Chains A and B, each alone.
Chain A
Amino acid sequence: SYVLTQPPSVSVTPGKTATIMCGGINIGDKSVHWYQQKPGQAPVLLIYFDSDRPSGIPERFSGSNSGNTATLTISRVEAGDDADYYCQVWDSGSDHLVFGGGTKLTVL
């Protein structure tokens, strides 16, 4: 089955830019979606179809996807961005939805 690989943790200081990567074989050929999850809460859709933002999601959150890596970029990081982030794709081969293992973003 298709595997998505994320770094377990990323740290960033407030005001800086955080980059979270999601690796998968030819992931650039798939549509990637990103979720933010804070402790005790349900996940929230941050980015869909690689780079689109649902209404209400700040422009500080952006996404890109090419080759074997998709990237979530958070600009001007705030303390409230401290959360877990998950990438997700639909794998046509298995007709299954796949999540990455998640990345814990720590705002120092």
Chain B
Amino acid sequence: QVQLVQSGSELKKPGASVKVSCKTSGYIFTHYGMDWVRQAPGQGLEWMGWINPNSENPKYAQAFKGRSVLSLDTSVSTAYLQINNLEVEDTAVYYCARSDLVVPAAPDYWGQGTLVAVSS
């Protein structure tokens, strides 16, 4: 069965970096894209970006350009989200979600989410 298993919760100080992993199984990794979605406490879903395993040319939502980096390691079927220069406002649950291969659309399987807390 399709599974996306994310790394555990993180507590970081402002200005630090965090790297969240999303290990997949149960499907051919290179046949799908990967979306990343943020959910701040008590808020809705916010799309961060999408990466295609074949071109590795990520697309980013405007709000996440610059400090967020999406990457892949196809050898271990794992996707990564790195956020640099963390701010308190980055405190949120971050989800990876299997997406279309060609465009970011209709993510069907989701990871369990990773809580990133940023506090001084």
Contacts and interface: CB of A to CB of B under 8 A. Distances in A.
B106 A45 contact: yes
A7 to B, nearest CB: 13
Interface in B93-110: 95, 97, 99-100, 103-108, 110
Contact of B108 (A54, A84, A97): A54
B61 A99 contact: no
B44 interface: yes
Contact of B45 (A45, A48, A102): A102
Contact of A101 (B37, B44, B61, B112): B44
B45 A95 contact: no
Interface residues of B, number: 24
Contacts of B97: 43
Interface SS of chain A = strand
Interface string A1-24: 100000000000000000000000
Given A97-B35, A97-B50, A88 B44 contact: no
Nearest to A8: B44
A65 to B, nearest CB: 13
B113 interface: yes
Contacts, number: 60
Interface of B: 35, 37, 44-47, 50, 59, 61-62, 95, 97, 99-100, 103-108, 110-113
Closest 10 CB pairs of A and B: A90-B105, A42-B110, A97-B104, A102-B44, A97-B47, A99-B45, A33-B106, A48-B106, A45-B108, A101-B44
Given A95-B104, A99-B46, 20 more contacts: A35-B45, A37-B45, A42-B110, A42-B111, A42-B112, A42-B113, A43-B95, A44-B110, A45-B107, A88-B45, A88-B106, A90-B103, A96-B104, A97-B35, A97-B104, A97-B105, A99-B44, A100-B44, A101-B44, A102-B45
